[in-house]
Amino acid sequence: MISIKLGDIIPADARLMDREPLKVDQSAVTGESEPAKKSPGDGVYSGSTCKQGELEAVVIAMGVNTLFGKAAHLVDSTQNVGHFEKILTSIGNFCIVRSAATKMESIMRSSFWSGEFLLPCR
């Protein structure tokens, strides 16, 4: 059971208990620009902010089990590599190999022309 009042950031997903309606800013979770009116029995999400009213709620989910936690887990667990990322990786790899080859060629030419290419064995 948690108590929610004006200005509180809701710490867990919860179901509102009996009292007057509450206005909650859920923009961090749902993207809604206006505060949502929540009545007793409605659910509120972790990370939302109370903008008007005061009441108690029963916690139904915490941590990674909240709506926000599940969304974060889905984003984190994706293994798909997009087309744009593949192209950037290919370009980056080409530039690294080309740069290394150019540097090696430069060292070889410099050493050859200065006569230090073949060092005497002692």
Residue that wins the pLDDT comparison between 120 and 105: 105
Do 41 and 101 lie in one domain? The reply is no
Residue 121 maps to a domain: no
Do 57 and 108 lie in one domain? The reply is no
Do 106 and 70 lie in one domain? The reply is no
Do 22 and 71 lie in one domain? The reply is yes
Q: How far is CA 121 from the centre of its chain?
A: 58
Write down the pTM of the prediction. 0.56
Residue 72 is predicted with a pLDDT of: 78
What range does the domain containing 71 cover?
2-76
Residue 73 is predicted with a pLDDT of: 79
Residue 120 maps to a domain: no
- Would you say 13 and 43 are in contact if contact means Cβ atoms under 8 Å apart? yes
Do 13 and 72 lie in one domain? The reply is yes
Count up the domains in the chain and report the number.
2
Helix (H) or strand (E) holding 55: strand 55-61
Residue 37 maps to a domain: yes
pLDDT of residue 41 exceeding 70: yes
